[in-house]
Chain A
Amino acid sequence: MPPLQSEAALGQSYNSTASERLTKHAADDLPSGLRKEKSALLIADGMADREERKFAEVPRDSVKLMAESVGVELSDDIAAMLAEDVCYRLREAAQNSSQFMRHAKRRRLTVEDFNRALRWSNVEAVCGYGSQDALPFRPLKEGELYFVEDREINLVELALATNIPKGCAETMVRVQVSYLDGKGNVEPQGAVPTAVQSLTDDLLKYYQQVTRAILGEDQQLMKVALQDLQTNSKIAALLPYFVHVVSGVKSVSHDLEQLSRLLHMVKSLVQNPFLYLGSYIKSLVSSVMYCILEPLAASINPLNDHWTLRDYAALLLSHIFWAHGDLVGGLYHQILLSLQKVLSGSFKKLPLGFCFLTSLCVPLQAVERVLFPHLSAYWSNLQAVLDDDSVSNAQVKADGHKVYGAILVAVEKLLKMKAQSRSVPVEGSVAVRERSFPGLSPPQEPVSEPGFGIASHLLQGVAGVPAEEPVPVPLPVMYRELYAFFGDSLAVRFSTGPGIEPRASRAAPPQPPDSKKEGMGPDTTRKMPQLTASMTISPRQDSSPRNEPSLPAVQNSSAAPSRFQRSSSSSLQRSKPPPSKVAQRSAGPPREVFQKSRFPLPPAAAPFSFLIAGRQTGRRCQGRRFQTSFPQLHPPNPSAQPPRGYAHKLPVIGRMGKPVKRWVCSQYSLHLPL
Chain B
Amino acid sequence: MAAVQDGSIEPEPENEIKTETSNEVLGNPGDASGGVPPTAPVAAVATEKPAAAATDSTERQTLLAVLQFLKKSKLFESEEILRREAGLLNEIGDSQGSGAGGAALGGGGGAEPESGDASSLLSRVAGAVATAQSANATPAPAKVTPVVTGGDDQPDVNVVLAAYSQQGDPVLYPVYYSGLKRFIDSVLDCHRAELSQVFYPLFVHMYLELVYNQYEKEAKAFFDKFHGDQECYYKDDLRILSGLTKKEHMKGNETLLDFRTSKFVLRISRDSYQLLKRHLQERQNNQIWNIIQEHLYIDIFDGMPRSKGQIDSMSGSLAGEAKREANKAKVFYGLLKEPEIEVPLDDEDEEAENEEGKPKKKKPKKDSTGSKSKKQDPNAPQQSRIPLPELKDSDKLDKIMNMKEATKRVRLGPESLPSICFYTFLNAYQGLTAVDFTDDSSLVAGGFADSTVRVWSVTPKKLRGVKTAGDLSLIDKDSDDVLERIMDEKTASESKNLYGHSGPVYGISFSPDRNYLLSCSEDATVRLWSLQTFTCLVGYKGHNYPVWDTQFSPYGYYFISGGHDRVARLWATDHYQPLRIFSGHLADITCTRFHPNSNYVATGSADRTIRLWDVLNGNCVRIFTGHKGPIHCLAFSPNGKFLASGATDGRVLLWDIGHGLMIGELKGHTDTVYALKFSRDGEILASGSMDNTVRLWDATKAFDDIETDDFTAATGHITLPENSQELLLGSYMTKSTPVIHLHFTRRNLLLGAGAYNP
Question: Which residues of A are interface residues toward B (Cβ below 8 A)?
Answer: 2-5, 8, 11, 41, 44-53, 55, 84-85, 87-88, 91-92, 95, 99-100, 102-108, 110, 112, 116, 120-122, 168-183, 185, 188-192
Contacts and interface: CB of A to CB of B under 8 A. Distances in A.
Given A11-B248, A41-B239, A53-B242, A4 B224 contact: no
A178 B732 contact: yes
Given A99-B606, A105-B740, A179 B419 contact: yes
Contacts of A172: 425-427, 495
A88 B736 contact: no
Contacts of B456: 173
Contacts of B248: 8, 11, 85
B379 interface: no
Contact of B224 (A51, A116, A192): A51
Contacts of A170: 427
Contacts of A173: 423-426, 444, 446, 456, 495
Contacts of A104: 430-431, 433, 449, 504, 506
B11 A122 contact: yes
Contacts of A192: 426, 756, 758
Given A45-B235, A190-B736, A171 B417 contact: no
Contacts of A99: 564, 588, 606
B421 interface: yes
Contacts of B213: none
B348 interface: no
Contacts of B243: 55, 87-88, 91-92
A182 B96 contact: no
Most buried by A among B243, B428, B430, B737: B243
4 residue pairs, one from A and one from B, having the closest CB atoms: A48-B228, A182-B417, A2-B97, A190-B735
B444 A84 contact: no
Nearest to B545: A120
B630 interface: yes
A182 B418 contact: yes
A55 to B, nearest CB: 7
Interface of B: 11, 13-14, 16, 93, 96-97, 99, 220, 224-225, 227-229, 235, 238-240, 242-246, 248-249, 253, 416-434, 444, 446, 448-449, 454, 456, 458, 495, 503-504, 506, 522, 545-546, 548, 564, 588, 590, 606, 630, 632, 648, 672, 674, 690, 696, 729-730, 732-738, 740, 752, 754, 756, 758
Contact of B242 (A2, A41, A85): A41
Given A3-B97, A4-B97, A190-B736, A48 B430 contact: no
Contact of B430 (A85, A92, A108): A108
A171 B421 contact: no
A178 B11 contact: no
Nearest to A182: B417
Given A85-B246, A176-B422, 18 more contacts: A3-B97, A48-B229, A88-B245, A99-B564, A100-B504, A100-B522, A106-B430, A107-B738, A110-B430, A120-B545, A120-B546, A168-B427, A173-B495, A175-B421, A176-B421, A178-B734, A182-B420, A189-B737
Contact of A122 (B13, B227, B424, B454): B13
Contacts of B730: 179, 182
Given A107-B690, A122-B13, A178 B425 contact: no
A190 B97 contact: no
B314 to A, nearest CB: 24
A106 B248 CA distance: 33
Contacts of A112: 449
B734 A180 contact: no
A124 B238 CA distance: 28
Contacts of A52: 224
B392 to A, nearest CB: 30
Given A105-B674, A120-B545, A179 B13 contact: no
Contacts of A174: 423-424, 426
A178 B740 contact: no
A122 B229 contact: no
A190 B419 contact: no
A203 to B, nearest CB: 17
Nearest to B247: A8
Given A51-B224, A107-B690, A171-B426, A182 B229 contact: no
Given A169-B427, A182-B730, A88 B224 contact: no
B14 A121 contact: yes
A199 to B, nearest CB: 16
A182 B738 CA distance: 19
Contacts of A91: 243
Nearest to B750: A179
10 contacts: A46-B228, A107-B690, A116-B522, A120-B545, A121-B16, A171-B425, A173-B424, A175-B422, A175-B458, A182-B418
Contacts of B754: 190
A190 B752 CA distance: 11
Contacts of A11: 248
Nearest to A122: B13
Most buried by A among B97, B431, B434, B444: B97
Most buried by A among B424, B734, B756: B424
A84 B423 contact: no
A88 to B, nearest CB: 5
Contacts of A180: 419
B427 A44 contact: no
Contacts of A108: 430
B16 A120 contact: yes
Contact of A171 (B228, B427, B545): B427
Nearest to A175: B423
B228 A179 contact: no
Contacts of A105: 432-434, 674, 690, 738, 740
Given A102-B672, A171-B454, A178-B752, A88 B506 contact: no
Contacts of B425: 171-173
Contacts of B733: 185
Nearest to B497: A171
A178 B756 contact: no
Nearest to B15: A121
Contacts of B503: 116
Nearest to B735: A190
A176 B224 CA distance: 52
A47 B421 CA distance: 47
B96 A4 contact: yes
A190 B734 contact: yes
A168 B248 CA distance: 47
Given A2-B93, A168-B429, A181 B417 contact: yes
A485 to B, nearest CB: 57
Nearest to B424: A190
Nearest to B425: A173
A152 B750 CA distance: 52
A84 to B, nearest CB: 7
Nearest to B416: A181
Contacts of B14: 121-122
A339 B730 CA distance: 61
B27 to A, nearest CB: 28
A182 B696 contact: yes
Contacts of A103: 433, 504, 506, 546, 548, 590
Contacts of A121: 13-14, 16
B245 A84 contact: yes
A47 B426 CA distance: 43
A12 to B, nearest CB: 8
B422 A190 contact: yes
Nearest to B630: A102
A470 B243 CA distance: 84
Contacts of B632: 102
Contacts of A120: 11, 16, 545-546, 564
Given A103-B590, A190-B756, A181 B426 contact: no
B242 A178 contact: no
A507 to B, nearest CB: 63
Contacts of B16: 120-121
